[in-house]
Amino acid sequence: MEACKPVALTFIMDAEVVGIDRKNGHQIMSFQELSSRRRGSKDSPVTTESIKMK
């Protein structure tokens, strides 16, 4: 059938970025932790300097 071509010319990739707490065994941080954290605090588990994507 013409609708089932074997080669794709384009595709859509969907992804989600999650926060990881490196001080607590590299556990995934919940949305509630990330949304209620103090922003700009030196004690915050998330800083712009520590954000790395692989």
pLDDT tens per residue, range 34-44: 777 666 566 66
Is 31 a domain residue? yes
DSSP string over 1-54: -TT--S--S----------EEGGGTTEEPPHHHHHHSPTT-TT-S--GGG----
Share of the chain above pLDDT 70, in %: 57
Stated pTM of the model = 0.38
**Mean pLDDT of all residues in the chain?**
74
Q: Give CA–CA dist 8/10, Å, rounded.
A: 6
Is 36 contained in some domain? yes
Domain of residue 42: give its range: 20-50
Whether 33 maps to a domain, the answer reads yes
Provide the domain count of the chain.
1
Domain annotation covers residue 27: yes
Q: Is 42 domain-assigned?
A: yes
In a domain, 2, yes or no: no
